[in-house]
């Protein structure tokens, strides 16, 4: 089972990942990791992975609606 967490002011944290591929279908080397942080601020110099660059100015707060 995989899980994606929308980090406050940061990346998508993906747990349980088995593969990340580019647009042509080529796999990135995850070096056995099953947890990756995917950039969503577009400033990482290591896309599609987060490199911490979001800390400069990326602000977003994704909050799921509460169930009644």
Give the span between the Cα atoms of 6 and 68, in whole angstroms: 22
Q: How far is the CB of 32 from ligand FES (least distance, A)?
A: 22
Judged by CB, which is closer to ligand FES: 14, or 51? 51
Q: What are phi and psi of 7, to 5 degrees?
A: -75, 140
SS3 55: helix
The least distance separating ligand FES from the CB of residue 1, rounded to whole angstroms, comes to 24
Minimum distance between the CB of residue 13 and ligand FES, rounded to whole angstroms? 10
- Residues near ligand FES (CB under 6 A): 10-11, 39-41, 43-44, 50-54
Do 47 and 3 meet the contact criterion of CB atoms below 8 Å apart? no
């Amino acid at each position: 089972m995989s899980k994606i967490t929308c980090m406050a002011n940061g990346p998508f944290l993906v747990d349980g990942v088995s593969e990340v591929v580019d647009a042509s279908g080529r796999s990135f080397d995850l070096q056995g990791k099953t947890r990756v942080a995917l950039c969503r601020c577009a400033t990482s110099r290591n896309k599609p992975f987060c490199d911490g660059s979001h800390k400069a100015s990326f602000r977003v707060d994704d909050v799921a609606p509460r169930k009644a």
